[in-house]
């Protein structure tokens, strides 16, 4: 594999969501109505991506959450890519954590994995659909 741009950065789902939301708003404010075929394809991609991301926890995140999450992750020996995976996917079990952290069995103890899961659940918002289901279950009981 060849690195084409060493300065390119990885973006979190939150950052992509914010970027596309801002682009959509700018486009709406400018009021341009003519669309080329390429522009229509881009609009479709933006729409589908925003539709997907709006149903994930990243739609409810804000910069302070991300800063708090990353500052608590400093003491854990995880790579940037692993932190990004944890931020985007919010693992809630040790099995999910093992899938996102390379060689987690050797690098992290069971206590550290549980601590990471606890940090993630405390700092980052949950999945909106799961929270609605949990609320409905709680009201039914």
Range of the domain at 96: 62-124
Residue 137 lies in a domain: no
Going by pLDDT thresholds of 50, 70 and 90, the confidence category of residue 2 is: low
Average pLDDT over residues 1-7: 61
Give domain status of residue 85, yes or no: yes
Q: What does the longest C-alpha to C-alpha distance in the chain come to?
A: 57
The per-residue pLDDT for range 23-49, each reduced to its tens digit, is 888 888 877 656 666 778 888 899 999
Q: What is the pLDDT of residue 18?
A: 92
Answer yes or no: is 103 within a domain.
yes
* Residue 127 predicted with pLDDT over 80: no
Residue 72 pLDDT exceeds 60: yes
The DSSP code for 76 is S
Q: Tell me whether residue 118 is in a domain.
A: yes
**Residue 43 resides in a domain:** no
Q: How far apart are CA 34 and CA 26, in angstroms?
A: 15
Lowest mean pLDDT across 2-6, 21-25, 45-49, 64-68: 2-6
Residue 36: inside a domain: no
Q: Is residue 129 part of a domain?
A: no
The pLDDT confidence band at residue 95, using thresholds 50, 70 and 90, is: very high
Per the domain annotation, does 34 fall within a domain?
A: no
Angle at the Cα of 138 (from 137 to 140), degrees rounded to 5? 65
Q: Is the pLDDT of residue 139 over 60?
A: no
Q: Is the pTM of this model over 0.85?
A: no
How many domains does the chain fold into?
1
Bigger pLDDT: 84 vs 32:
84
**CATH number of domain containing 86:** 1.20.1250.40
Angle, to 10 degrees, between the axis of helix 80-89 and the axis of helix 13-30?
A: 70
């Amino acid at each position: 594999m060849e690195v084409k741009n060493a300065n390119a950065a990885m973006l979190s789902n939150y950052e992509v969501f914010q970027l596309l939301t801002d682009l959509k708003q700018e486009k709406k404010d400018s009021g341009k109505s003519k669309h080329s075929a390429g522009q229509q394809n881009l609009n479709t991609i933006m729409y589908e991506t925003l539709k997907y991301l709006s149903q994930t926890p990243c739609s409810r995140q804000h910069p302070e959450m991300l800063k708090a999450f990353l500052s608590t992750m400093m003491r854990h020996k995880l790579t940037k890519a692993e932190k990004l995976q944890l931020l985007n996917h919010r693992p809630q079990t040790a099995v999910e954590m093992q899938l996102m952290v390379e060689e987690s069995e050797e690098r992290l103890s069971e206590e550290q994995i549980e601590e990471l899961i606890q940090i993630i659940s405390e700092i980052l918002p949950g999945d909106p659909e799961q929270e609605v289901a949990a609320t409905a279950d709680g009201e039914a009981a």
